Amino acid sequence: MAQKSQVKAVTPNGTYEGKYGLMYKFDVEFENGEFGTAMGKTQECKFIVGQEASYERTSREYNGQTYYNVKYVNEGYTPGGGYKGKDPKTEARIVRMNVLQRAVDLAIADKILLSDVPRIASEFANWVNAEAQAPNPTPQSVATTSDLPF
| Chain segment 32-68, per-residue pLDDT in tens | 999 999 999 999 999 999 999 999 999 999 999 999 9
Percent over 90 (pLDDT), the chain: 65
Calculate the average pLDDT of the chain: 85
pTM of the entire predicted model? 0.50
Helix boundaries (H) for 9-116: 88-108
Torsion of CA 34, 37, 41, 43, to 10 degrees: 80
Residue 149 binned pLDDT confidence (cut-offs 50, 70, 90): very low
Contacts of 81 (CB under 8 A, 6+ apart): none
Per residue in 11-39, pLDDT (tens digit) is: 999 999 988 899 999 999 999 999 999 99
